[in-house]
């Protein structure tokens, strides 16, 4: 499923996704410490990973010209787990993960932010145990005139947050103060 817009994420989100894979930097490069959040894992998004391991969509031609069968659709239950703040990540183990001021053990509600294309959509997180829970993949479309183009389309980003902050793709970094864990990459097609 081609998308209208590529999703932009804040620098701290990119660093959170990248930092666990960086072991060291050249000696002349002093490490930059970016804000990094606790890791988030999507448990039942493995079908897309299996597809890519065997080669993405064999014999279908260029991806931009193809409509793919969705791996997940609106209404699917999405299972998540996350780390506590305080993990050491990044080059030289110089960064400690930080999360929202809200504890995941408190009774305060938590939400999942779905960031895709130019949209940020929130769903309720139902906790099922210590650092585990589920949510429902949201429904909706990018443009009202295109009902077959869902909000969650292609690769999106999900994060657990403590507030449903009204943000746009232009001020998405405002959400950083409310991130409990994540982002994780979520593949819908």
143-165 residue pLDDT tens: 666 556 666 767 789 999 999 99
Cα–Cα distance for residue pair 14/138, rounded to 1 Å: 23
Residue 95 pLDDT greater than 50, yes or no: yes
Domain spans of the chain, in order of start: 11-187
Q: What is the pTM of this model?
A: 0.80
What pLDDT score was predicted for residue 21? 85
Question: What local confidence, expressed as pLDDT, does residue 67 receive?
Answer: 57
pLDDT of residue 54: 44
Question: For residue 82, what pLDDT is reported?
Answer: 94
112 by DSSP, 3-state: which?
strand
Cβ density class 23-61: b for 16+ within 10 Å, e for less: eeeeeeeeeeebbbbbbbebeebeebeebeeeeeeeeee
């Amino acid at each position: 499923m081609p998308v209208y817009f590529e999703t932009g994420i804040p620098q701290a989100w990119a660093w959170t996704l990248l930092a666990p894979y960086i072991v060291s930097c050249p000696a002349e490069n002093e490490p930059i410490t970016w804000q990094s959040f606790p890791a988030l894992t999507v448990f039942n998004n493995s079908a897309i990973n299996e597809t890519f391991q065997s080669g993405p969509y064999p014999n279908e031609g260029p991806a931009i010209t193809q409509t793919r069968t969705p791996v997940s659709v609106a209404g699917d239950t999405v299972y998540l787990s996350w780390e506590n703040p305080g993990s050491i990540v990044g080059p030289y183990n110089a960064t400690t993960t930080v999360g929202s001021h809200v504890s995941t053990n408190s009774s305060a509600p938590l939400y999942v932010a779905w960031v895709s294309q130019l949209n940020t959509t929130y769903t309720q997180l139902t906790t099922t145990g210590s650092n585990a829970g589920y949510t429902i993949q949201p429904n909706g479309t990018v443009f009202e005139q295109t009902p077959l183009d869902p909000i969650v389309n292609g690769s999106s980003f999900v994060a657990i947050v403590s507030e449903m902050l009204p943000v746009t793709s232009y001020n998405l970094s405002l959400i950083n103060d409310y991130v409990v864990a994540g982002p994780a990459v979520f593949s819908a097609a």
